[in-house]
Chain A
């Protein structure tokens, strides 16, 4: 029996449609399940109060603060370092042994499990540099962890800037640095921004590396050297130790909504930026 091309075409379309729907359904099921179990427990006091009795009662305000501080600091450290590294790699050196070694290094870094970064952060920042379990140890560790993401996405964005822009800029008498800041970075900004948003997401959802470096204190942080517990870690501890599944789901819901909101805002911002540079 021979299958006609038309029949195989119909079969493939149906098959691809099925596979895509399964992927979407799984995703929707996970998000739905968590929101159904968690949304009911979210209210104003849950968002604005400290936890009591190890998280069985009270809210998650210190964890929200902790997440913002650790993630924010990590990205503030990683973004400039990553973008400047990329500028050096793409604009200031010619392709050679050194650049391929650096590139290979960042690829390896990107593939390392986060708990290894956590272990490094624990040994180096927490113990050797005596920073203790703290916001700063956690942020530095996460910064190293997301650096490869930022470098690779920025590199792609910068390489996508047409060569003619560079020639024009030089031809009109700009220095290399003027060319980089006024032309290359401007057109690569949407792509670089996407990389930074990706790394914000990775920082927010990280648990292992944070547990080993920022600790898991429940109280409000009062200095950069205070230990904090991030939302993801709070969720992990609440569920893993069977403290309160209701609060665990509520925390997870807050996490999911936050990441969704960040992604939507970032998407809109990038679209506006991209429209501007066109």
Chain B
């Protein structure tokens, strides 16, 4: 693991309507690692993930304190260009949400809004994204078909491809397999393993087994607090905190 962190979260707290949903989170995310975030419902893991690319800004009642340093700059600084931040820190949602257009247009959406007009460049990025998301072979002959025609697992990989076409530096995955069958899940996990060679991957999951097999480090969140963060094999075999142990052994949550 390299010493230069990709993202440094510094005493970050988040609030909805004054209620504190994240409390003084401190952690670093390194490039070329897969960081899993686990925790029961309402532990703030999704809020944390969505804070990393400022998607919480869409909530009118959201506020925060502390810093999230990306590229030597606080991402909540007023001078940050939020659309380009979101292109560099991409997000895949729990429920596959294809836009109502063709597979091609879905994957080309991000590059298009970033201002790329050249057809050949777009073709190239669409192919790049779909290949990285292990979907290219299944859809290369029907890129013009509506994305809604794909199966659930294919839709989710298309959503991944859509983000990868932007060539982000950090990839945020918010329970990306919660609605998928085991085979699709395995395909997504394979894709993640390959992606780790070029990106920092942050995975929020309700499935502790998935965290155990598909991550390098694991963070345990509870009630908006970071309880424990260590190497995945360590956390699952020898947790330092008894609450972590209770959670991973299924005693609550």
Contact = CB atoms under 8 A, between A and B. Distances in A.
Interface in B182-221: none
A198 B99 CA distance: 28
Contact of B60 (A94, A167, A169): A94
A48 interface: no
Contacts of A98: none
Interface in A132-163: 162
Interface string B98-126: 01110000000110111000000000000
Given A172-B86, A173-B110, A278 B58 contact: no
Interface in A183-198: 183, 186-187
B16 interface: no
Contacts, number: 67
A273 B62 CA distance: 37
Interface stretch (A33-41, A75-83, A123-131, A174-182): A174-182
A171 B90 contact: yes
Interface residues of B, number: 27
Nearest to A274: B100
Contact of A170 (B58, B84, B101, B159): B58
Contact of B93 (A168, A178, A277): A168
B166 A172 contact: yes
Interface in B137-168: 146, 148, 159, 162-163, 166
A164 interface: yes
A165 interface: yes
Nearest to B105: A182
Secondary structure type dominating chain A contacts: helix
A186 B112 CA distance: 16
Nearest to B92: A171
A172 B100 contact: no
B91 A171 contact: yes
Contact of B113 (A164, A178, A278): A178
Given A164-B97, A173-B114, A175-B113, 18 more contacts: A162-B97, A165-B97, A167-B55, A167-B97, A171-B53, A171-B90, A171-B91, A172-B90, A172-B109, A172-B162, A172-B166, A173-B110, A174-B83, A182-B113, A186-B100, A277-B101, A278-B146, A278-B148
15 contacts: A165-B100, A167-B55, A167-B93, A167-B97, A171-B53, A171-B163, A172-B90, A173-B87, A173-B114, A182-B112, A182-B113, A187-B100, A277-B100, A277-B101, A278-B148
